[in-house]
Each structure stands twice: as structure tokens, then as C-alpha cells.
Amino acid sequence: MKTLRDIPVGETATVVKIHGEGSLKRRIMDMGITKGTRIYVRKVAPLGDPVEVTVRGYELSLRKEDADILEME
Amino acid sequence: MEGKKQELPHVFTGSVEHAIAHIEESIQDKVDPINLRWYAIKIFERDSKALEQLKLDEDLMRHLDAHIRDCEKELDDDAESIITNQRYVYITKLVGECVKKKHAAGTLSTSDKIDRVVTNRWLALPFFAGVMFLVYYISVTTIGTYVTDWTNDTLFGAWIQPGVQSLMERAGASDWLISLVVDGIIGGLAAPIGFVPQMAIVFLFLSILEDCGYMARVAFIMDRIFRRFGLSGKSFIPFLISSGCGVPGIMSTRTIESEKDRRMTMITTTMIPCGAKLPVIALIAGFLMGGAWWMAPMMYFAGIGLVIIYCIILKKTRFFAGEPVPFVMELPAYHIPSIKGVLLHVWERVWAFIKKAGTILFLCCAVMWFLGSFGVVHGTFGLVDAGDSLLAVIGGVLAPIFAPLGFGTWQAVASSLSGFVAKEGIVSTMSLLSSLGTEIEAYDTSMHAAFAAFFPTSIAAVSFLFFNCFDSPCLAAISTMAKEMGNRKYFWYAILFQNVAAYCVALMVYQLIGVGIGQVKFGPATVAAAILFIGLLYLLFRKDPNKKYVEAERRDALRA
């Protein structure tokens, strides 16, 4: 399974499925990441985590660990 | 909207709208018509709170569930995701029709250009360190000191105090009243009030950084470090603000979503020496090593160290165990903060402090003055020397508790007592007890004898400083904490934890370092301190007893 963690900096990918449930999934969806959303990976924080992505025209930061629930292609 | 029923836009696709219409129909008589659609959508999402509230009977629920499941099958997603997804689709459609972007997709806006430098992989940390250094250099050493010195020496020292004294003498006020007003109240308030301008400058910088969007980047940069001891990057902002004052620091924990993280941040954030503790640190530093400049940074590092240690230990306890909360945060575009917004922030925070100085501190000064000036001598109650005062009696009773920490003198204990009310009170009480008047802002050699009587050894003074910097915060911060925690039980645990932990830390510092450098004799208390130290190491490095369970939970969630 390819997740958001595997998308290199500077590339864009599409969400296929959001795995898991509960607060994390709800939070991620509330921030505008849903099935079919295009996500551009902007950069990685100086210490290697979290990552900064562009979703629906705004900037979002999320941890790689949390990014793992996003299946991408 | 003024009672007029408006046709709401239908934002979902055919089958979803159909199911919602069906739900609406069947709960029509159970809810207020205005909320009908909202409830219908919540039922479609299977929102547990809404369902609990409506108490629909099982037959109906099963019937509705069939409809919902049909939609889920058709769209290959769960109901909640369908709603969120289609809402976003609708929003995107609207935005596409009516919003024109200044920057075409793919080009860099000014905000992007700033971010390329500020959160750059290599430049981000040096830039951050530079910003922090500048903020504190300007507010603490240059402008801040200048304004504070002026308030203390000129405004209070040269104008207000002598002025009030001569005014009262001319008016024929009795000696004790003059003493209460001039030495007790004005003298006691001078130190904290003198501190206001410095604090205002710190808050001014922090507000600008907050409003322009840099603080969110700080959370982004620091998250990796904070996660190591169970917090998120968002906890950094409260810690930063607490270096000015704990009250707004505790209030700024509101941005942390997880209740556990928030409580943990509240408990530990006041370990960072606040502005009110600076005079205490300066005083002890002056007494010990002629005002060594590195004393204040050392206390900051000790504070940060304690925050880390406490967090690691607390995270492994039952109360705070659990999966780290998701750190999903928007990074807003940079913008120039509005002057009004920034000034409002500064004013709110400074005003909270002034209010505290005007009420709690005022009362504290008066009470401390009373306890320190009155007492019973030869069976009569009246004005006495400090050594015979009520304060000496109370301090003397409590002194044995603090004897293992090295400062079992009544003066030191009495000062610590006033520290529970307000940390600035420590300095004013000490100046009162050393009967050297109010000029105690800067340490001078005339106080050496008085201080030597308070603290038999230099390590005792250090232990005193540790206890008073890392115990429960001042009353104002405590009451803020009670309000923000919203749970009495947790609040009392927090206060208990802070004080017991501070006692243990001071005990270890005094006994272990004291014996090490030969200032303290080996005794039962040393053994107790050594046992405590081993216990601390155990708590720090033991395997997280809750970890296995949490990991399993996460795996299950991922598989689902």
C-alpha cells in the first residue's frame, strides 16, 4: 500500500482511501482531505517530521505517522 | 433567520439526498423543524451523540440503516466520509465559480517565498534561535531593563515612596500606618509593578509573532522534538509565553485539542521561570556569586529539563497514557498583523497581571506586613521586631519540614510561604525580613549578613531557589489553572504533584550536590535523596506499561 509518507517532496498524488477510524480520520477529513483530493507534498520539517502539504489551496502540516492512513496513487 | 423558512441548497448527490429526505420524514415530529435537516444528516452519519439524544426505536433505526447502507454501497465509502466528501465537492464548485485567485497555481506567493527561507530544512532552526534570542535580548537586557530600572529607582524609589511618606508624616499619621503603606504595600508592590513594562515588551513581540503566522511554523519545526516526550509542537507556544507570565501561558493551551496533552502542558508549563521569578533568581545569584550572568540561563535550562522529565514520567502514568493525538494543523499564509489586534493581545495579558498585582499582591503585601510586624511579646500583642513576629512563629513551626532542603530558617520558610501567593512576594518578604527597607532590587553587600543568616550554606540558597521556582505557581496562575482544567480532581492532583515534585527536586539538589561538594553532612536525608534519585531514574527509563495496549489498538484501527 502506497501512503502519503511515500510521496517524495515536490510531487502531487491523489487520495484513494482513508484508512482507520475515530478522531484521526475525522480530523483529517475535516481539514479537507477526502477521497479523490489532490495533495502536493511541499516540504519536510527540519528534523524530518512533520511534512507540509498543500490541500485545496492551503497549507497543512501533518506527521508522517498520521499520513500513513492516507492511501495514495 | 428571522423565522422565515428558507429553502436550503441541496448539496449532496441524488441517492444521499434521497436517504436524508427519508430520514427527515420519519423524525419530523421528534425535532424542531429548524433543526430537522441537521438531525437528519447526523443520523445519516450515525453520529452517536445525536442518536443517543433522539432515542429512535429499533425498527425505525433498522429501516433507516438499510437506506444508509445502500448509499454506502453505491458510493463505496462510509456515511460520514460521504457527507464530508460531498460537502467539499460542493464548496469547491462554489469557489470555482466565484473566486479568482491572485496567483495562478504553481507560482509562488510572497508567503511561499518567506516560507522557503523560514521553514527551510537548514535555515529553519538557526532562524528560530535567532528570533528567540532577539526577542529576549531586546526585552530583558536592553529596553526592558532600562524601563524597569526607571520604574523602580525613579518612579517608586525617588518619587512615590518618599512622597507618600512625607505626605503622611505631615498629615500626622501614626508610625504603624506609615510603615504599612510605605514599606508594606508600596514597597511590596514596587517590584512587580516595575516589572510590567518589561513584560509588555515580551508580550508585544510574542503577539506579533503569533499574529503574523510564525508561531504555527514554530509548532511545525518543533513538533519532532516535543513528540519525543509525548507532547505536540503546539505545546511549545504555552511554554514560550510562560517565560513571560504563567497566566497567559496556561490560557494559550486552549489551542491544544487533546485534553490529556493540554492538562500535561498546564501542569508543566509553569516550570519555565516566569518574569516574576527573575528577581528571585537575580537575588540569589547576587548573594551567591556576585550576580553571575549564567544563573538565569541555568534556571531556564533546569526548568526545561524538568518539563521534559515530568512529561516523560507523567506520560507513562495511567492518567496520561494513550496514543499521541494527531498533529494536523493549518499553516496560515503570512500576513502583516494589525496594530489593533497586537495591542489588544498585549493589553489583555498585561492587564491580567496588573489586576493580580492590584488585588492578590496588594492583599498579600498587607497580610505579610501584618504578620511580619505584629506579634506577642511578654503577653501583650503589638508591634514587635521581626524576630518575635507572628511570621516568625509560623515560619518556625513549618521550618523543620524544610530543614532537609537546607533552608529550615523561619525567614526562608516565610518567604517561600509568600511565594505560594505570588513569586514576586518572595523578594518583598525577604527585603522586609532583612529589615533593609525596599531597596532590594539589586543585590548589595549590606544584605550579605542578613542572607547568610537565612541560608547557612550556598547550596541551601540554591535549593531554596529550586524549590521556589518549581513549586506550584502563584495564586493567579493557580486560579487560571483551576478554571482551564475544568475538573477539580485533576486540578488538586496537579497542585499536589507540583509541590511534592518541587520538594523532591530541592531535596536531591541540596543533599546530593551538597554532600558532593562537602557543604552538607551525610545523613538519613541524603539516603532518602539517593533513593528518590534512583526512583526518578526508574520512572524515567522504565518501559511504558501502556505502550503494548496502545500499539495494538492502533494496528487494529489501521486494519479496519
* Residue type at position A67: A
Helix/strand/coil for A32: coil
Q: Which of B307, B342, B377 marks a domain boundary?
A: B342
Asked if residue B482 and residue B371 are part of one domain, the reply reads: yes
The tally of domains found in chain B comes to 3
Beta bridge pairs of residue B383: B374
Residue (of B353, B364, B480) closest to B417 by Cα position: B364
**pLDDT reported for residue B271:** 93
Residue B268 pLDDT class (50, 70, 90 cuts): very high
Which of A16, A28, A35, A51 should we substitute to test contact with B (largest number of B Cβ atoms within 10 Å)?
A: A35
Residue A51 pLDDT class (50, 70, 90 cuts): very high
Q: Is there a domain that residue B400 lies in?
A: yes
Q: How far is the alpha carbon of A62 from chain B, nearest alpha carbon, in Å?
A: 5
Residue B2 pLDDT class (50, 70, 90 cuts): very low
Interface of B with A (CB under 8 A): 77, 80-81, 84-85, 88, 92, 101, 115, 119-122, 124-125, 219-221, 223-225, 227, 233, 257, 324-333, 557-558, 560
Q: Do B224 and A69 touch (CB under 8 A)?
A: no
Whole-number percent of chain B with pLDDT over 70: 89
Q: Which of B504, B521, B549 marks a domain boundary?
A: B504
Asked if residue B433 and residue B300 are part of one domain, the reply reads: no
Beta bridge pairs of residue A71: A3, A17
Sign of CA dihedral B456, B462, B464, B465: positive
Asked if residue B328 and residue B219 are part of one domain, the reply reads: yes
Q: Which residues of B touch A67 (CB under 8 A)?
A: none
Q: Which of B310, B342, B374 marks a domain boundary?
A: B342
Residue of B nearest to A68 (CA): B558
The answer to whether B280 and B465 have CB atoms below 8 angstroms apart is yes
pLDDT in tens, B338-350: 999 999 988 887 8
Q: How far is the alpha carbon of B86 from chain A, nearest alpha carbon, in Å?
A: 9
Asked if residue B179 and residue B79 are part of one domain, the reply reads: no
CA B302 – CA B470 distance, rounded (Å): 9
Asked if residue B303 and residue B184 are part of one domain, the reply reads: yes
Q: Which residues of A touch B88 (CB under 8 A)?
A: 32, 34, 37, 56
**pLDDT reported for residue B437:** 46
Q: Is there a domain that residue B490 lies in?
A: yes
DSSP letter string, B419-446: HHH-THHHHHHHHHHTT-TT--SS--GG
Asked if residue B131 and residue B68 are part of one domain, the reply reads: no
pLDDT in tens, B161-179: 888 888 888 888 888 888 8
Asked if residue B332 and residue B228 are part of one domain, the reply reads: yes
Q: Where do the H-state alpha helices sit in B258-294?
A: 259-269, 277-289
Asked if residue B257 and residue B399 are part of one domain, the reply reads: no
Mean pLDDT across B60-79: 87
Residue (of B3, B222, B192, B217) closest to B119 by Cα position: B217
Give the residue numbers spanning the domain of B47: 14-98
Asked if residue B302 and residue B381 are part of one domain, the reply reads: no
**pLDDT reported for residue B439:** 45
Judged against a pLDDT cut of 90, whether residue B507 lies above it is answered with: yes
Q: Is there a domain that residue B105 lies in?
A: no
Domain A4-72 adopts which CATH fold? Answer: SH3 type barrels. (2.30.30)
Q: Which residues of A touch B125 (CB under 8 A)?
A: 46
Domain range summary for chain A, segments of one domain joined by +? 4-72
pLDDT in tens, B375-385: 888 777 877 77
Number of H helices, E strands in chain B: 30, 3
The answer to whether B128 and A45 have CB atoms below 8 angstroms apart is no
Asked if residue B266 and residue B156 are part of one domain, the reply reads: yes
Beta bridge pairs of residue B329: A61
Residue of B nearest to A70 (CA): B558
Q: Which residues of B touch A65 (CB under 8 A)?
A: 324
> For position B36, which CATH number holds?
1.10.287.1770
The top-scoring range by mean pLDDT among B189-198, B254-263, B449-458 is B254-263
Chain centroid offset of residue B284 CA: 24
Asked if residue B232 and residue B159 are part of one domain, the reply reads: yes
Q: Is there a domain that residue B416 lies in?
A: yes
Q: Is there a domain that residue B259 lies in?
A: yes
Cell of B403: 530543614
Q: Tell me the CB-side half-sphere exposure of residue B271, using CA atoms within 13 A.
A: 26
Asked if residue B363 and residue B337 are part of one domain, the reply reads: no
